[in-house]
Amino acid sequence: MKKILCFLTLALVTFCADAQFVSLDKNEVKLMRETLKKDRNFSKIFRNFQVIAIQSLSETPNPIAVILSQGLLAGDPRKTASLKALEDATKVYALAFAYKISGKTAYLNKATDFFTAWAKINKATDDPINQTKLEDMVTAYDLVREDVTAESRTLTDDWLRSIADAMVDSKYAKGSRGTAINNWNSHRIKMITLIAYTLHNNKYDGIITTEIEKQLNVNLNPDGTTHDLMERDAFHYQTYDIEPLISACIAIYRATGKNYFDWETANGSTIKNCVDYMTPYMTGEKTHPEFVKSTVPFDKKRAENGEKGYAPGTLFEPVNGVHTFSLAAYFDKGYNKIIHLAMHDDNYLNWRMALNAFTVVKP
């Protein structure tokens, strides 16, 4: 871990029209290659992606016309088929990084096969919970977009733009719907943001600013709770709510330099406060029985369906907050200590934490 962090001073955040804002820019990829040669801890993590990438070279894309997952119980054949198809996102993500590290065009060509297959078959919908599952596909495309052929780029750009436009016009973000202020809207904002900065399309700039500021104002509470935690009585949904917001914050920061992670709302709330609120539950100082007072009927249906973690009273497990704190550590490396405490391992390192080591947040 220390060897990775020693490279931090070499990393650069590039603010230019053709930079990668969602994934890593050229300087950060170079730093990644150097680190792979010198740090065994990071090499071990990357090896997992390398294995997936190699296996994916011989596999056929499995796009699905419409992603169906939201509101469906585990075991529903529609959800099962969608989640199976979405394994392609993991494969493409691995292929994109394998290409950037090795330079082998076989990885790029296969990733392009996946992008074009999905672009031709998958149809955008206005359901944020279904569309959010394409995040890794977007991140992977951001990493290699400048390397794919012009034809494939046009096809994939058009597909992703259709998703962003569907999110902008989503009926779920309108009126007095609960989905206009809860985790649905956080995921909607994330997907608009990631796609906008991947495509370098400034038509979304004003929308992103308006939507994220509005969401932070209505979703976050000054005490560090979120709308979703109060509604669902589960840190499962505190994390599911703020993770997409932090992902959006990272992309916005990288593209514009504006830090929404620490941005204070009219009532004094911040995303950082909502992460900090979870700290004693991550370290074990406090425990939280999940879903005991949830007001959402679907939570009860999941519990009755035997889905893990949804039974009222199930204690929140700190490992389930590690990804949230790993994202937050992009802005504040101090969260790494909380992660180490939660994992009972001072040398614990995950992929997001490693990626954080290649970038520097401006003071």
Q: Which superfamily, per CATH, for 2-356?
A: Chondroitin AC/alginate lyase (1.50.10.100)
Exposure of 7 by Cβ count < 10 A (0-12 exposed, 13-18 middle, 19+ buried)?
Answer: middle
Residue type, 127: D
pLDDT value for 299: 97
Of the chain, the end-to-end C-alpha distance in Å amounts to 23
Q: Which residues contact 341 (CB under 8 A, 6 or more apart)?
A: 282, 283, 284
pLDDT at 362 over 60: no
pLDDT at 361: 61
List pLDDT tens digits, range 130-154.
Answer: 999 999 999 999 999 999 999 999 9
Average pLDDT in the 69-91 region?
A: 98
Domain ranges of the chain: 2-356
Q: Which token pair is 61?
A: 């894309």
**Entry pTM:** 0.94
Query: Is 13 in a helix, a strand, or coil?
Result: coil
Residue 14: pLDDT over 80: no
pLDDT average, residue stretch 202-225 = 98
**What's the average model confidence in pLDDT over 212-222?**
98
pLDDT score of 245 more than 80: yes
> Distance between CA atoms of 45 and 6, rounded to whole angstroms?
18
Distance (Å, whole) CA 123 – CA 273: 37
Of 1-5, 27-31, 105-109, 332-336, give the lowest mean pLDDT range.
1-5
pLDDT of residue 165: 98
pLDDT at 321 over 60: yes
Q: Higher-confidence residue: 233 or 12?
A: 233
Q: Please determine, for residue 10, whether its predicted confidence score (pLDDT) is greater than 50.
A: no
> CA 169, CA 286: separation in Å to the nearest integer?
41
What percent of the chain clears pLDDT 70, i.e. is strictly above it?
94
